Structure 1
């Protein structure tokens, strides 16, 4: 890709980010209009108990997350050998169709099914787009390339999600999803025009891509990504009732809460990309403690509006910074299975999405209030951090054993053989 002009590279990256913008909108707009969806699709439950209806509507978010988890490894493994621009166009077209189905679903059950279908291309899109962006950026800037693709998702949380949430509150949640459908149609056209043709991995096979799942460190990275990031989604899923019922702010303040999260995610995304280029595992271990502290402070102070906005920014920043670090870590430990590794990050994060949404809804439905999901977030982030520390310890022990053993077939020297 070195023969491309800087302007062409910028337009190509912008087109890829626009696809990410659409994904951020389709994934996160439900958080801001969850009460409207619950009132429309679950009317009897809403009339009986609004909190129960909102908790049940959280299944839409869990269904999207489940679709990402299923789609990311399967689609990525199937398409790794095909030309990347062609695959990206097929994926954005699928997003357009799936989001339109979500907007038009007549019942709650069909809406859940539509959200699952709409999510299937999510991980494969980000995985392949990350590989294209890394190629466009050049050597030594892989983390920054990943962050640029993810920037569309984070900017969506600053601009797209709040605006579409406001549109959904004024014109109905279905209009909000039709707006997202339009974004995906534009992204498809932009990729067709701006992204250069790039071959797939001719040697890729489903078996080779899936071989990454035999590596222990891949599973560790998936684990601390899924569990740790679940802490963010436990909070973000219920940011609307947290803003109105807990902090006592009007419904019109919900988009501003989403702006705070989105600004934090945008700042954190670029910070995490740069940190990942200096050491992905080091970045993960440095970013978990401030995420845990932010979630703890939110659990204690969310009823105060100023603290709510500041802490939503902090939670968004530190959680988003972890994402490119985890994706880079997966690519570091996946060997030749780079397409699958790049996509698996989104499986992990959306397991966290589903886990956080489900547990957050469970504590609300149990009558523990809208601060309870923040406490769920603290527990999940602590568990993710513990798993990351375990991963580093296991990795170090494995490296020491390899150094002691030496190259295959080598006879250990006397100095390398433990005494006693």
Structure 2
């Protein structure tokens, strides 16, 4: 696909940065629980494994809630929906911070997951619309960057804050920050130019596009393969690579930094060569995972491979999100929500299979082997997209239509 224009020096609209900050808060609440489970367990009188349901409930809320809430709020103004989602998000954390009941905290987690799914699906549409068709992948890369930074920083910061105060401290901080973010986003999110009612039927009709499902399946396979491996990365590092447990956070920071670099680079390359970027990222990720199977007995090689794995896998994320939105045409909200759900489904299924592999005779080499096969399967839907000549047909149509509508079809 030829480049539209040379936008490498163009700046993203400020609203994209603001929305990325909101995504950072949403991502923080998803990951921070991992570092607080012992404190929550002691305070609420449940086992650590039972407290882990707070993570499961959030994931289920995201999988089911993102598309459901996208439809439920479809006819609301997008700026109002973003502010409402952040407000509910803040109130959910206040309820959790005040409650002595595990059941109430669990319910609050589900509510915050619904708010997160709503915010993500609408923020993706607002950010890419504001950025324009030539910078769609870059805008989504910025949003994913907020999620990646949360992944890197939330667990150690949340754990530290939980130790300084108690597990409720991070919840109060997130409530205050999300309330402030609601005010800022309400101020800087632009008014919508068109006022016609968005159609629920059109949103579902967009899902009849086979290309949408090919892109969604690629998201589930690639994220499932890589993050299933990442779920069990600690035993691979400490038991197979013989890396000291105290050094594991540094290795994970390298992975997070690689993921942040990947979303940035992928966002820029994906606007000009989307399918080439995706195929390269998927093939390279599969190779990295395969190398982990055989060479993760070397500490140095393992650290390098884990870092590069973050770069290659997350380079594909903004491009896949941009393709989903593009293939959905004028009804992108539900498709954007399903992109988030697809990623969570892939991680849930992939982690389950990887856990079985870890308990098998393969031991620590099992999860990266599962990840290799799963990530390699990403090439099937991507190859189908190439064979369908999806981008070339869109480019041809847009080339014959010089209007802004025609240019939008290219992006």
Q: What TM-score bracket applies, with the shorter chain setting the length?
A: 0.7 to 0.9
The 10-residue stretch of structure 1 (75-84 or 360-369) with the greater mean CA deviation from structure 2: 360-369
Shift of 1:226: 0.8
> Could you report, residue by residue, the CA deviation over 1:316-375 in whole angstroms, capped at 9, with x for unpaired residues?
212211111111111221122122222221111111122223223333455754442222
Pairing 1:83–2:86 present: no
Residue of structure 2 aligned with 1:188, choices 182, 193, 199: 182
> Is the partner of 1:120 in helix, strand or coil?
helix
Pairing 1:316–2:310 present: yes
Matched ranges for 1:9-408 at <5 A: 11-30=14-33, 60-99=54-93, 114-168=108-162, 175-198=169-192, 202-249=196-243, 251-365=245-359, 369-393=363-387, 395-396=388-389
Shift of 1:165: 4.3
Distance 1:77 1:388, change over 3 A: same
The 10-residue stretch of structure 1 (337-346 or 120-129) with the greater mean CA deviation from structure 2: 120-129
Which stretches in structure 2 are left out of the alignment for 5+ residues?
1-10, 397-411
CA distance in 1, matches of 2:171, 2:67: 26
2:404 is matched with which residue? none
> Could you report, residue by residue, the CA deviation over 1:24-48 in whole angstroms, capped at 9, with x for unpaired residues?
212233455668778988976x7xx
CA distance in 2, matches of 1:382, 1:78: 36
Question: Is 1:84–1:128's contact at 8 Å kept on the other side of the alignment?
Answer: yes
The 10-residue stretch of structure 1 (81-90 or 157-166) with the greater mean CA deviation from structure 2: 157-166
TM-score normalized with structure 1 length: 0.78
CA distance in 2, matches of 1:105, 1:217: 45
> Could you report, residue by residue, the CA deviation over 1:38-82 in whole angstroms, capped at 9, with x for unpaired residues?
8988976x7xxxxxx5xx877654443322221222222232332
Shift of 1:300: 3.3
TM-score normalized with structure 2 length: 0.79
Shift of 1:169: 6.8
> Could you report, residue by residue, the CA deviation over 1:132-175 in whole angstroms, capped at 9, with x for unpaired residues?
22333344112212222222112223434443344457766554
Distance 1:114 1:308, change over 3 A: farther
Which stretches in structure 1 are left out of the alignment for 5+ residues?
1-7, 47-52, 404-420
Distance 1:271 1:41, change over 3 A: farther
CA distance in 2, matches of 1:250, 1:200: 57
CA distance in 2, matches of 1:109, 1:175: 19
CA distance in 1, matches of 2:297, 2:173: 32
Distance 1:398 1:175, change over 3 A: closer
CA distance in 1, matches of 2:287, 2:136: 29
Superposed CA RMSD in Å reads 3.5
Distance 1:23 1:398, change over 3 A: closer
2:400 is matched with which residue? none
Shift of 1:202: 2.4
The 10-residue stretch of structure 1 (317-326 or 149-158) with the greater mean CA deviation from structure 2: 149-158
Question: Is 1:131–1:342's contact at 8 Å kept on the other side of the alignment?
Answer: yes
CA distance in 2, matches of 1:271, 1:176: 32
Aligned pair count reads 384
